[in-house]
Amino acid sequence: MTAMTHTPMRARAEIDLAALRANVRALRARAAGAQLMAVVKSDAYGHGAVRCARAALDAGATWLGTATPDEALALRAAGFDGPLMCWLWTPGGPWREAVEAGIDVSVSGMWALEEVTAAARAAGRVARVQLKADTGLGRNGCQPADWPELVRRALEAPDAVKVTGLWSHFACADEPGHPSIDAQLAVFHDMVEHAEKAGAEPEVRHIANSPATLTLPASHFDLVRTGIAMYGVSPSPELGTPADFGLRPVMTLAASVALVKRVPQGHGVSYGHHYVTPAETNLGLIPVGYADGVPRHASGTGPVLVGGTWRRVAGRVAMDQFVVDLGEDVVEPGDEAVLFGPGDRGEPTAEDWARAADTIAYEIVTRIGSRVPRVYVDEEPGSPDS
């Protein structure tokens, strides 16, 4: 992995854009024949939306996807003028701004169709609308029973609405063989067929997220929407490691050791004294905490590489810091503590933290807070901050 050569700072999340580009190319190879939408919602799962969007497009992604309209509008403001979709709308949302910006908007129900139709007419533009089918996830999307009406109403307003996409989302794609996968695919085929028979001519039909992109070619249709795999994290440990899929983790989270001190045996450590030194020892202070996204739930368990050895968080993770027991090892203030990264320098991975905090690796990378500067490496020459 690239050595960290920059000025030491309290903490940093190093974002390896060369890895991201290679991941996008690997995913495109798996879904040859389909376009790839780079899912960059939630600031690209904590990696930085603008830089990651640019890198993904450089590597052959043709679409960008976000959850909220504000995220999509921010990408337009940053100069991304290609295909862009957002899918999480609430009543009174910025429909008109999205229509005027040429953003594909997702519609799951009649209230949304009515709002986007009115906004398009007010703007004197035709809205690009992707109809979302609930094929079994039971979250957003239109139920099969309500689909004929939604499709009919969308197609009867061609002055205001163009149906550019038909799409859905899986519930259990990270569990290959789960019976819901084939069931959802069958429902999706039916709902697409119904809409097309009714006159829809979508540019794209899509249902695959990262796990489906990696394991289920029958789900690729015209487009795959990849998030977590693009960031080099496996959608689930049961599915395989990133390396099994030719992927490399993009984010490395590191901090500078803030203090090393000798304490006697029997010394309580951090709030609540949930760790007590078993012998006289050296404690190391790691200056990141739950305000930075280090899960408090990983108190006593989260792994960190310091001085060439894995340590566990000793006691509680606090808002801004936690402590590790260094034993007799020689570690100096300013030495690097690596919480997670690709794993090939011996450091833990986001998956290790997910296990320690009883969560998924998606959450580990996405929750890294804005107080942690992102340091971009391997940007293409010519990009604004390279």
Binding site residues for substrate, as ranges? 139, 319
When asked if residue 142 is in the footprint of ligand PLP (CB under 6 A), the reply is: no
Residue 282 vs residues 32, 276, 278, 325, 358: alpha-carbon distances, Å = 54, 12, 11, 6, 28
| Interacting residue with ligand PLP among 63, 87, 221, 376 (CB under 6 A) | 87
Within 8 A by CB and 6+ apart from 63, the residues are 35, 36, 37, 38, 82, 83, 84, 85, 204, 223, 225
When asked if residue 39 is in the footprint of ligand PLP (CB under 6 A), the reply is: yes
| Catalytic residue chosen out of the listed positions 45, 132, 271, 290 | 271
Rounded least distance, CB 227 to ligand PLP, Å = 3
Rounded least distance, CB 14 to ligand PLP, Å = 21
Nearer to ligand PLP, 142 or 229 (CB): 229
Nearer to ligand PLP, 139 or 152 (CB): 139
Identify whether 41 is a catalytic site residue: yes
Torsion sign (Cα): 275, 281, 285, 286: negative
Which amino acid, 307?
G
When asked if residue 226 is in the footprint of ligand PLP (CB under 6 A), the reply is: yes
| Residue 150, CB-side half-sphere exposure with 13 Å CA sphere | 28
Nearer to ligand PLP, 41 or 355 (CB): 41
Subset of 143-172 contacting ligand PLP (CB under 6 A): 169
When asked if residue 228 is in the footprint of ligand PLP (CB under 6 A), the reply is: yes
Q: Which of 169, 137, 132, 168 is nearest to 151 (CA)?
A: 132
Rounded least distance, CB 235 to ligand PLP, Å = 5
Nearer to ligand PLP, 210 or 281 (CB): 210
Identify whether 197 is a catalytic site residue: no
Segment lying near ligand PLP (by CB under 6 A), choices 107-115, 222-230, 273-281, 327-335:
222-230
- How many chain residues interact with ligand PLP (CB under 6 A)? 11
Taking CB positions, which residue lies at the least distance from ligand PLP? 227
For residue 282, the cross-strand partners are 262, 327
* Helix, coil or strand: residue 183: helix
Rounded least distance, CB 93 to ligand PLP, Å = 16
Within 8 A by CB and 6+ apart from 250, the residues are 15, 16, 17, 19, 20, 23, 47, 52, 230, 231, 232
Which residues are the active-site residues? Answer: 41, 271
Residues found near ligand PLP in the complex (CB under 6 A): 39, 87, 169, 209-210, 225-229, 235
